[in-house]
Amino acid sequence: MNGLGGLNKSRSGVVIGLVQLQLPVIETRADVARQAEKIVAMVAKARRGMASMDLVVFPEYALHGLSMDTRPEILCTLDGPEVTSFRAACRDNRIWGCFSIMELNPDGNPYNSGLVVDDTGAIRLYYRKLHPWVPVEPWEPGNLGVPVCEGPNGSRLALIICHDGMFPEMAREAAYKGAEIMLRTAGYTAPIRHAWKVTNQANAFCNLMATASVCMCGSDGTFNSMGEAMICNFDGTLLAEGSGVPDEIVTAEVRPDLVREARAGWGVENNIYQLGHRGYVAVLGGAGDCPYSYMQDLAAGRYRLPWEADVEVRDGTSCGFPVPNRVYGGSAS
């Protein structure tokens, strides 16, 4: 099924390499530049190490580390030197790449952004993390939705970032837009290990979609990221799994053609179809209503939990961040 981790690639396969990148310490612009050079070198290493590889994926925080530093002088832009070097690395090595940046936001806190670049150096997907890991992360909530793009060998790709994957709605949205492979990049540390594994597998099975997920790895002297690269098949089974070895590239082949076959041919447990066609044995075409109160309330702007008044953590002050003074969509004062 997996062709020895992608060494024996099938005609319809997509070989993915997940880089368990060593967690860096970033304090200056020069540190950012050096880390960008390392990422570029790892793109070349991935290509040298496996000629069949289609896509190399770097974790969240690969460039900036886990400092949560929002100083403008270390942040990135889409037309800046770091992204330019990533694009050139993909073009020069004829490989697709997935990269992480902390993106300058003139209207507020930085965005935690991800890019998918094709093997000509073109940006094919641009995403801003929808669900920052509050209260720890200071990033502006994303405003680009969950984009999907055409990927290598005719596949359809989506990208979500770290905490996003704990919300089943994120994977469902990616699949609903046609994604056959969902990437999840992260900086998670060891306490999240169990939740990481079960959500990666559940996101795959519940949406008949391959998932490929990777964390930063090793210690920066304060934090220990866990690595734990995982590639899951569309039925939730594990195709490949990494460990805690920094800079290891974990590989596997996934088969988008088999994803398409399952989505078209499965009856039992074709859950993403059945969500909008409830009970189609009893009623023609199934029920297509929305019986879920939380969906209706969220869309109407009235989402409120029964225990909302009892929620104690509502801002980032417990992690040293000030109480924000603007509403979502408003500009910084």
| CA 73/CA 136 separation, integer angstroms | 21
The active-site residue out of 76, 90, 149, 162 is 162
| CA 302/CA 294 separation, integer angstroms | 9
| CA 254/CA 234 separation, integer angstroms | 9
The active-site residue out of 98, 103, 129, 140 is 129
Contact 96, 15 (CB under 8 A): no
- 129 catalytically annotated: yes
Burial of 98 (0-12, 13-18, 19+ CB in 10 A): buried
- 60 catalytically annotated: yes
CA angle (44, 27, 81) in 5-degree steps? 45
Contact 157, 181 (CB under 8 A): yes
Q: Give first-to-last CA distance, the chain, whole Å.
A: 55
| CA 37/CA 24 separation, integer angstroms | 12
- 215 catalytically annotated: no
Q: Which two tokens stand for residue 305?
A: 């939990």
The active-site residue out of 60, 137, 180, 228 is 60
DSSP state of 58: P
Active site amino acids: 60, 129, 162
